[in-house]
Chain A
């Protein structure tokens, strides 16, 4: 079998090589993972390795490393200024780290291949303000190369109860409806890797339940940045806790609960852990 040459498309770095693995085996494995991801829609892994990022004199991330296995759902927790948003922006390729490497599957986050399979919802997301709800969804759907855009838009409009605002300009919408639209724009192409920053902000309780169900049913690797433990416990099974730009704890939600006393709310456990770090 001819093994494809190491491609720029995958952007694979040798720093992830297992020493026991030969270069040829490694290339073969990366190539096969790429093919699997594109053809059989297998969610990719998400990986950060020793990432550092500074804004002027302020160091936002200091050697941050963690990995999500394909299909895993993980919450990124941390106090204000911990570096959660910077982490997400690096993972979606909008920021370049000063050092270290981020990967979505075998792809570099800024590559077109990674962008094709990624969905992203920033905190306080604002869609195109001069567009209507439908125009936003159709435009992004078309840019994403979604084949049946119109049908997909119709389904999302009904699912998120946005049908009555279909023709409304975004400026007219309440903050909750803007968030619904933003969520639909993040998932319109059914991404295999989904990165969400406070996804349930501004949503009413029935919509929160709809969104939680929808996100749980997506076939994707999910990273959710949040302050709210309820969101983490409802949407994910694992937690990565960061503070001052580094991982301070990582494990399953059950592991986290075990760190507390009997009956102690998980919020208290997290608060205590983060206070100890601060």
Chain B
């Protein structure tokens, strides 16, 4: 095996500082997990564990792809390198990008798995290999197949909630042996397939690229007759774009994006809101604590969803086009306001459902409603500004990794922290029975976040600095 190749491939994708930080985070997560006593409520992990296993299984399928750069396609893949060495090196990069993510997030659940510790280690090791392999296996599949596979792999871990033992997440439902068997079988199937895919990555990439870019737009959107503001609103309010470019450090992998019309999205959220309202009001016989956990998990998913919607906002913009049609800071403000309002509209049915649930006496729902309606739309603006200053990237090639993962990318996650903190704090306060305090905390955080977002978009000097930054780093 060529260690030089391995070193080159890792260091061309990860900065040394980031690798050091990943090591520190992993050691910390493992240390905490082994040192924490088993006093933590196991019921938390009963929900938390399978939900996150499901999430991390579908993440590489829907968004990950493989960590290949344009320079690889143009130069590295043309060199006379042993295919097995290339595949191994790329597999290690996938492991660092996606596979290890499960350690940061789920290592804390080890405290509840101490009685079945060896089983848990085996299960986690196998799951890491499976998650690592899913990106290389699925990136060249058609979107329909990827969605189907993602659905299956989302349902499988969640099946423990209905008592199904042969699930990769069954370790959390008291079936450690079955969990190990399932995860090992999955790993035995997926790892060789991943190596096969990575050893012929150049051919598969071209095939995928040709298929990906061969599409025609079925319904051409018309802007004729619209005013300039109408066109901006039509593009940025009435159409929602989800961009997939994510790894454990908040950026990376290849890039994909999908768009849907706002009214279709609202239709979906309205149905979800109706189901959600019905379940929480009439159906759920869970304890209050369990309901809170469910809402907490939904909150975390919502924030992750927001991070996905913000990635492409500036990455897909073109300075020489939209920004040239009016004052650039004004254009930036106009598109961000439209996108923020679009997100608020998309989430409004869920927010209304939460307000109604709160009206029926379940106070934590009020927090969640405010989070959806105020904090998350504000978060979009803050994340766009932060990521533009810390790690701006413009999408010029589909399915390619735009650049090296580095420590600065971590900063793009920072704006989400106050929201997560808000969620955790308000739930903690609620558990302590201080409903009014929780509401005040939520209201204050929402107002502060909205204030920061407004200050950002209305500050001409900040807008100009952002645009200067984009031009300087090579945005076209």
| Chain B 300-318: CB-based contact to A (< 8 A → 1; otherwise 0) | 0000000000000000101
- A126–B318 alpha-carbon span in the complex (Å): 8
Q: Closest A-chain residue to B214, C-beta based?
A: A172
Closest residue of B by beta carbon distance from A171: B213
Cβ of B241 < 8 Å from any Cβ of A? yes
B259: which of A112, A124, A130 is its contact (CB, 8 Å)?
A130
Identify the closest chain A residue to B210 (Cβ).
Answer: A172
Report the minimum CB–CB distance from A150 to chain B (whole Å): 4
Q: Is the CB of A134 within 8 A of B220?
A: yes
Fill in one digit per residue for B311-340: 1 if any A CB lies within 8 Å of its CB, else 0. 000001011111111111000000000000
B464 in contact with A96 (CB, 8 Å): yes
**What is the count of residue pairs linking A and B with beta-carbon distances less than 8 angstroms?**
117
Residues facing B in A3-60 (CB within 8 A) are: 55
CA distance A169 to B322 in the complex (A): 18
Nearest residue, chain B, Cβ from A186: B320
Q: How far is the CA of A93 from the CA of B464 in the complex (A)?
A: 11
B231 touches which of A55, A127, A131, A139 (Cβ 8 Å): A139
Are B476 and A139 in touch, CB under 8 angstroms?
no
Interchain CB contact under 8 A, B228 and A142: yes
Chain A contact residues (Cβ within 8 angstroms of B): what range?
A: 35 or more
Q: How far is the CA of A248 from the CA of B257 in the complex (A)?
A: 47
Whether A143 pairs with B398 at a CB distance below 8 angstroms is: no
Candidates B214, B221, B257, B324; contact of A118 at CB < 8 Å: B324
By CB atoms of chain A within 10 A, which of B230, B241, B476 has the most? B476
Task: Please give, as numbers and ranges, the residues of chain B lying within 8 Å of A167 by CB-CB distance.
Answer: 216-217, 220
> Which stretch from B23-31, B175-183, B465-473 is at the chain A interface?
B465-473
A149-B316 contact, Cβ under 8 Å, with A115-B324, A122-B476, A135-B220: no
Question: Does A156 make an interface contact (CB < 8 A)?
Answer: no
- Write out the residue numbers on chain A whose beta carbons fall within 8 Å of the beta carbon of B259: 130
In the bound assembly, the distance between CA atoms of A140 and B216 in angstroms comes to 20
Nearest B residue to A86 by beta-carbon distance?
B471
Q: Is the CB of A127 within 8 A of B217?
A: no
Bitwise, A95-125 to B at CB < 8 A (1) or not (0) is 1100000000000001110010010111011
Task: Give the residues in chain A near B396, CB-CB below 8 Å.
Answer: 126
Q: How far is the CB of B315 from chain A (nearest CB, A)?
A: 10
Of chain B, the residue at the smallest CB distance from A189 is: B325
Scoring A55, A142, A172 by chain B CB atoms within 10 A of each residue's CB, the highest score goes to A142
Instruction: Report whether A144 and B325 are in contact in the complex, using a CB–CB cutoff of 8 Å.
Output: yes
B398 contacts A129, C-beta separation under 8 Å = yes
- Tell me whether A259 is interfacial, beta carbon within 8 Å: no
CA distance A126 to B467 in the complex (A): 18
How far apart are the CA atoms of A127 and B214 in the complex, in Å?
17
- B320 x A125 contact (CB < 8 A): yes
Q: Are B322 and A125 in contact (CB under 8 A)?
A: no
B235 contacts A by Cβ under 8 Å = yes
Pair A112/B326 contact, Cβ less than 8 Å: yes
**Chain A positions within 8 Å of B228 at CB level:** 142-145
In the complex, what residue of chain B is closest to A93 when comparing beta carbons?
A: B328
Q: How far is the CA of A168 from the CA of B220 in the complex (A)?
A: 10
Interface residues in A160-180 (C-beta closer than 8 Å to B)? 166-169, 171-172
Closest to A150 in B: B224
Instruction: Judge if A270 is at the interface, Cβ distance under 8 Å.
Output: no
Q: Give the dominant DSSP class at A's interface.
A: mixed
From B224, B226, B326, name the one whose CB has the most chain A CB atoms within 10 angstroms.
B224
A130 near B476: Cβ-Cβ < 8 Å: no
B327 touches A115 (CB 8 A): yes
Contact of B471 among A89, A126, A131 (CB under 8 A): A89
- Our pick among B220, B230, B398, B467 for the contact of A94 (Cβ within 8 Å) is B467
Q: Are A112 and B221 in contact (CB under 8 A)?
A: no
Q: Are B325 and A172 in contact (CB under 8 A)?
A: no
User: Known contacts A89-B471, A121-B320, A139-B235; is A115 also within 8 Å of B395 by CB?
Assistant: no
Q: How far is the CB of B205 from chain A (nearest CB, A)?
A: 14
**A96→B213 contact, CB < 8 A:** no
Question: Across the interface, do A171 and B398 meet the contact criterion of CB distance under 8 Å?
Answer: yes
The 8 Å CB contact of B225, one of A110, A127, A132, A149, is A149
Determine if A128 is an interface residue (Cβ-Cβ < 8 Å): yes
Q: How far is the CB of B174 from chain A (nearest CB, A)?
A: 47
- Give the residue of A110, A122, A135 whose beta carbon is less than 8 angstroms from that of B217: A135
- What is the CA–CA distance of A125 and B318 in the complex, to the nearest angstrom? 9
A115: which B residues are within 8 A, CB to CB?
Answer: 324-327
Using Cβ atoms and an 8 Å threshold, which residues of chain B touch A128?
316, 318, 321
Interface string of B229-249 (1 = CB under 8 A from A): 011100100000100000000
Chain A: minimal CB distance from B466 (Å): 12
A142 touches B217 (CB 8 A): no
| CB within 8 Å for A110 and B223 given contacts A125-B320, A127-B321 | no
**Any chain B CB within 8 A of the CB of A185?**
yes
Q: B216 is contacted by which of A127, A145, A150, A169 (Cβ under 8 Å)?
A: A169
In the assembled complex, the Cα of A111 lies from the Cα of B329 at a distance in Å of 11
Could you give 9 example pairs across A and B, Cβ below 8 Å?
A: A125-B320, A128-B318, A132-B217, A134-B220, A141-B223, A142-B227, A143-B322, A143-B326, A149-B225
Residues of B at the A interface (CB closer than 8 Å) are: 212-217, 220-228, 230-232, 235, 241, 257, 259, 316, 318-328, 395-396, 398, 464, 467-468, 471-472, 476
Known: A126-B476, A138-B224, A149-B223. 5 other contacts (CB 8 A): A94-B324, A95-B468, A115-B326, A135-B220, A167-B220
Closest 7 CB pairs of A and B: A142-B231, A171-B213, A132-B217, A142-B223, A150-B224, A143-B325, A138-B223
